[in-house]
Amino acid sequence: MESSDIIVGLDIGTTKIAVIVGRYNQYGKIDILGYGKTPSIGVVRGVVYNIEDTVNSITEAVRLAEAASGVEIRSVYVGIAGQHIKSQHHRGSYIRPNGEDEIIADDIDRLHENMYKLMMPPGEEIIQVIAQEFIVDGEQGIKQPIGMCGVSLEANFHIITGQTAAVKNIFRCIKRAGLEVTGMMLEPLASSSSVLSEEEKEAGVVLVDIGGGTTDIAIFQDGIIRHTAVIPFGGNVVTEDIREGCHIIRKHAEELKVKFGSCLATENKEEEIVAIPGLKGRPAREISLKNLARIIEARMEEIIHCVINEIRNSGYERKLIGGIVLTGGGAMMKHIAPLTEFVTGFDTRIGYPNEHLGKESPDDITSPMYATGIGLVYLGLEKAERERRRKGMETMFADALPENNGESTDLQGEETEMPLMSGLDENGLEKQEKSRKKAMRKREQSRFGENFFKKITQWFEEDEDKS
């Protein structure tokens, strides 16, 4: 088993830190080799507030994942979320020097790189740039412009921003845990890749990832990400409401929510009572399950109304045939799907991260709470596969070239020259030029977040040198 065939996803959440190890099997599905989960200490609403506690939690989760999978973990794909995440839309343009040449991957790369030059408020940086659709010489609605001809290349972009300090703290924790960051991805996008089907994304769907500290939203329509948002409420707020409303400690409130909680008070009877152990020397406290459900229902309705507001803000309220898909740890609460349907009017289902999983994966890994971690593994495997195909095509093209007397034929360079073959007429030279462009088009087309990733890494190394 080659280490390059294995991808590790690291989900740093408010309530848990999960490390998931996976690889493709012979059928193109993902086999989860092992995973580790520990309570998240030091993270509040997706933001690291205590470096040392977070490092300890990551280290323990990695140890458990290594023991379960038998794989030595050295690098991870990490998800980023939190209340500091914002999104915006922007249209970028690029004027090509020759409109008769076919559009290649380099043209799209330049268009993406221009987006990272946008001015941001102090303390904020662009994390990820996602192309929604392209416009070539005024022709709109183009999903894949490579191979077309045109002078003006434009695109509508979904731009995700976040606080630079929050991202640097994540990098710092991972590095102190002895790991390297292979890539960084927005968590709701990772969750969507593990629980949503391509048909749902095409029809229009809202992914609602209910975590411990935040609720992440991603809206897809026509197969394109249209809107992302973060609501600063999650399952922990429900636990706090139970603690205050029932006058019990937080530990018992969490156990009540998980074991007996319901999002619909009408589904419980008044005579249903559960006893909570009292504090030292005090009698047990009796809690009505109907009153417990009323507390949970009130808070969940508030969160769902926030989701409705984000759906309206997106402008796609009437274009969501796929309805709402709930995932994350909060989606495991009883009767949450019927409550969501009642409040929103959208068809609702619970999203389990088994869209790409093989049969050899553990049964308990299909819980909605692991949707983000499995999504990170899937996106990491996809990226590694694209990189492998690209290198394979470059090798095949290089092998097909004649001797070039030591001249460089590396396709990575931006100004690569292809050696001219003696004895070719004008048509032959034209065919040779087309072959060169065709090979360059095989380069990886998606480099979301790489510029930002390199910039953060450079800042982090500078900080380490100063300290």
In-domain check, residue 390: no
User: Within this chain, do residues 245 and 122 fall inside the same structural domain, yes or no?
Assistant: no
In-domain check, residue 181: yes
In-domain check, residue 440: no
Phi-psi bin for 168: left (phi > 0), alpha (psi -120 to 50), beta? alpha
3-state helix, strand, coil in the chain (%, to 5): 40, 25, 30
For strand 224-231 and strand 215-221, is the pairing parallel, antiparallel, or unpaired?
A: antiparallel
Write down the H helix ranges in 187-270.
Answer: 187-195, 198-203, 235-246, 250-260
Q: Which residues contact 340 (CB under 8 A, 6 or more apart)?
A: 208, 304, 324, 326, 346, 348
Q: Give the CA distances from residue 244 to residues 101, 102, 239, 266, 280, in Å, rounded to whole numbers and listed in that order.
A: 67, 64, 9, 22, 19
User: Within this chain, do residues 177 and 153 fall inside the same structural domain, yes or no?
Assistant: no
Three-state secondary structure call for residue 61: helix
User: Within this chain, do residues 271 and 379 fall inside the same structural domain, yes or no?
Assistant: no
Domain boundaries, position 290: 235-299
243, 270, 299 — which closes off a domain?
299
User: Within this chain, do residues 128 and 276 fall inside the same structural domain, yes or no?
Assistant: no
Angle, vertex CA 357, rays to CA 356 and CA 362, nearest 5: 160
Mean pLDDT of 304-308: 96
Write down the H helix ranges in 87-234.
Answer: 105-115, 164-176, 187-195, 198-203
User: Within this chain, do residues 56 and 92 fall inside the same structural domain, yes or no?
Assistant: no
> CATH number, domain at 100?
3.30.1490.110
User: Within this chain, do residues 79 and 93 fall inside the same structural domain, yes or no?
Assistant: no
> CATH number, domain at 276?
3.30.420.40
In-domain check, residue 402: no
CB atoms closer than 10 angstroms to residue 7: 26
Digit-coded pLDDT (tens) for 14-59: 889 999 999 998 888 999 999 999 999 888 888 888 999 999 999 9
CB atoms closer than 10 angstroms to residue 160: 23
Q: How large a percentage of the chain has pLDDT more than 70?
A: 83
Q: Are 275 and 284 within 8 A, CB to CB?
A: yes
Round to whole Å and give the CA distance between 207 and 217: 6
Digit-coded pLDDT (tens) for 372-417: 999 999 999 988 887 777 677 656 656 655 554 444 444 444 444 4
Angle, vertex CA 251, rays to CA 250 and CA 253, nearest 5: 60
User: Within this chain, do residues 9 and 36 fall inside the same structural domain, yes or no?
Assistant: yes
Residue 81 has what pLDDT?
85
Q: Report the mean per-residue pLDDT for the chain.
A: 84
User: Within this chain, do residues 339 and 204 fall inside the same structural domain, yes or no?
Assistant: yes
- Dump strand ranges (E) for 40-189: 43-44, 47-48, 75-80, 86-95, 124-136, 139-142, 152-163, 180-186
Mean pLDDT of 189-198: 93
Tell me 156's DSSP state. Answer: E
Confidence of residue 105 (pLDDT cuts 50, 70, 90): confident
User: Within this chain, do residues 346 and 456 fall inside the same structural domain, yes or no?
Assistant: no
User: Within this chain, do residues 69 and 95 fall inside the same structural domain, yes or no?
Assistant: no
What are the φ and ψ backbone dihedral angles of 83, each rounded to 5 degrees? -70, -10
Confidence of residue 278 (pLDDT cuts 50, 70, 90): confident
Let me know how many helices (H) and strands (E) the chain has, helices first: 12, 18
Digit-coded pLDDT (tens) for 150-167: 999 999 999 999 889 988
Nearest CA to 255 out of 272, 267, 237, 243 is that of: 243
In-domain check, residue 339: yes
Residue 398 has what pLDDT?
62
Q: Which helix (H) or strand (E) holds 431?
A: helix 426-440
Residue 411 has what pLDDT?
40
Look at residue 442 and tell me whether its pLDDT is greater than 50. Answer: no
Nearest CA to 230 out of 45, 28, 369, 42 is that of: 45
For strand 324-327 and strand 348-350, is the pairing parallel, antiparallel, or unpaired?
A: parallel
In-domain check, residue 42: yes
User: Within this chain, do residues 216 and 252 fall inside the same structural domain, yes or no?
Assistant: no
Look at residue 179 and tell me whether its pLDDT is greater than 70. Answer: yes
User: Within this chain, do residues 94 and 156 fall inside the same structural domain, yes or no?
Assistant: yes
In-domain check, residue 428: no
Tell me 402's DSSP state. Answer: P
Q: Give the CA distances from residue 299 to residues 50, 236, 339, in Å, rounded to whole numbers and listed in that order.
A: 28, 11, 12
Q: Are 96 and 107 within 8 A, CB to CB?
A: yes
Which of 137-146, 266-275, 346-355, 356-365 reaches the highest mean pLDDT?
346-355
pTM of the model: 0.80
In-domain check, residue 212: yes
The long-range contacts involving 52-59, CB below 8 angstroms and separated by at least 24 positions, are: 54/12, 54/17, 54/173, 55/173, 55/176, 55/177, 57/17, 58/10, 58/12, 58/17, 58/19, 58/173, 58/174, 58/177, 58/179, 59/177, 59/178
383, 404, 434 — which closes off a domain?
383
Tokens read off for 17: 């830190």
Question: How many structural domains are present in the chain?
Answer: 3
Mean pLDDT of 239-265: 92
